[in-house]
A and B are shown apart, each in its own frame.
Chain A
Amino acid sequence: MTQVPASLRYSSTHEWVASLGSGRYRVGITDHAQELLGDVVYVELPQLGQEVRAEGACGVVESVKAASDLYTPLSGKIVAVNEALNDNPQWLNEEPYEKGWIFEIEAGEEDYAKLLDAVAYENSIAG
């Protein structure tokens, strides 16, 4: 079964967002996204300190079969990237919501508020 944790928010492009407090958010790709991608073999991470705009491409997830853009659901500044993915890209498949997180961003409340909640996201992928 595809996992959609209730504590997270979601984008229509299959990223999840966790609010860490103080305007800091953690971002990864959903379980559904990793199922569609298949085995992930390389992640091109965003640049630390990079300013990004919501819905813009900020990295690439390469699976065996295809390269897919990674989109940031929030506008802001990249304040952390998960360097461990360089050696463990398979974490995106194995633990997409835990060890497979991709970056952290400082952002305003308003983009976050626009994201889907778990029920809405689950409905969007059920179609």
Chain B
Amino acid sequence: MTASLQRTALYHWHLAQGARMSPFAGWEMPLHYGSQLQEHQAVRQNAGIFDVSHMRPLDISGPDARALLRRALANDVARLDREPGRALYTCMLQEDGGILDDLIVYFLAPERYRIVLNAAGAGADTAYLRQLAAGKAVSFRPRDDWGILACQGPRAVELVAEVLGRPELKELRSFRSLTAGDDLFIARTGYTGEDGVEILTSDSALPALADNLVAAGLRPAGLAARDSLRLEAGLNLYGQDMGPEDSPDRSHLGWTIDLRDPERQFIGRAAVEAERRAGPRQRLWGLLLPRDAIPRAGYRVVDTAGQPVGQVQSGSFAPSLGLGIALARLDAAIGPESSVFLQIRQRQVPARVVEPPFWRHGRAVYPA
């Protein structure tokens, strides 16, 4: 155990809840509180809470904030202009089209934005954006005094609305947010494939809020359940399913690239357009496997002749499906009609290639 791991404001709360803690991206985070499976099912059937305070909010404001984000992000924040509170999922690209990070950007008010960054990249991303903004009228405020609680599941919004005494939350639409005073921000977003909200608030308010949410019936859930939930929902994990070597088109994220404004020269645009002209060499697909052939990161995928056609990026048992599932990066020639096999130890097991997600709106997308 290294001494340099950061702890969230809920560290002692997790221990009191019986969490098994684990290092993750430089933070000491709850892996589970006894059973990943039960936490997973609680989120699918009722409601769970996740401490995701390792993800870092960064406020970006000023007369040039919009122009900065239109240059730095592959999706276009101009889509948000008419609706303060609205959110957008996007990649931040390198000039060569590789993904630097993925994030959600919130349009708070004219000239005011908030982004939430992945734990591993938050420091570097912030420095990079500051550098990109040099000489521009943009100011940055990392919200180091805040943490994030994700409340997810079919009953989550109703329960959170009750606990916070904010019935208006039930009317909040998907990918919309509301700001309540200086120290509370609530967004209808998440990473589980379920309805829910993410609550950003001051560290000092977190333990009592978490207590109240648990008392209302939300179950504490750890990073292990978060991973199996997001994989079923077909949501990429940065560093696992994509990284600086991968473009959005290689990562099933082509839909997040906004090329509509020909004048908008966002970073990575030329590379993205060149790859579109040539066609990407590989794409990210879903794989479905029987429960005795659970795919794991790094496992090879082969064709009928036994030739490698790609590899698993993320793989797990899917608790909601009772099957093995994976996100796998496969050669461009491979698609849903292809006959491919997962190389699992000494065996080759037929795998079904599908378009993610595996789970959506409370049911399996590809019933057995």
Contacts and interface: CB of A to CB of B under 8 A. Distances in A.
Contacts of B345: 60
Interface in B282-338: 291-292, 294, 296, 316-317, 319
Nearest to A38: B36
A39 B317 CA distance: 10
Contacts of A93: 35
Nearest to A60: B345
B252 interface: no
19 contacts: A38-B31, A38-B36, A38-B224, A39-B35, A39-B36, A39-B37, A41-B294, A41-B317, A42-B292, A42-B317, A62-B294, A64-B36, A64-B37, A64-B228, A64-B316, A64-B317, A65-B224, A65-B228, A66-B296
Nearest to B322: A41
B227 interface: yes
B294 A67 contact: yes
A111 interface: no
B20 interface: yes
A93 B35 CA distance: 10
Top 9 A-B pairs ranked by shortest CB distance? A39-B37, A41-B317, A64-B317, A62-B294, A38-B36, A39-B36, A64-B36, A42-B292, A65-B224
Majority SS at the chain B contact face:
mixed
A64 B296 contact: no
A38 B36 CA distance: 7
Given A38-B31, A64-B224, A93-B35, 17 more contacts: A38-B32, A38-B35, A38-B36, A39-B37, A41-B317, A42-B291, A42-B292, A42-B317, A60-B345, A62-B317, A64-B36, A64-B37, A64-B40, A64-B228, A64-B316, A64-B319, A65-B36
Interface of A: 35, 38-39, 41-42, 44, 60, 62-67, 93
Interface of B: 20, 31-32, 35-37, 40, 224, 227-228, 291-292, 294, 296, 316-317, 319, 345
Nearest to B39: A39
Contacts of B224: 38, 64-65
B296 A67 contact: yes
A65 B292 contact: no
Contacts of B316: 64-65
A75 B260 CA distance: 67
A61 B279 CA distance: 40
Contacts of B291: 41-42
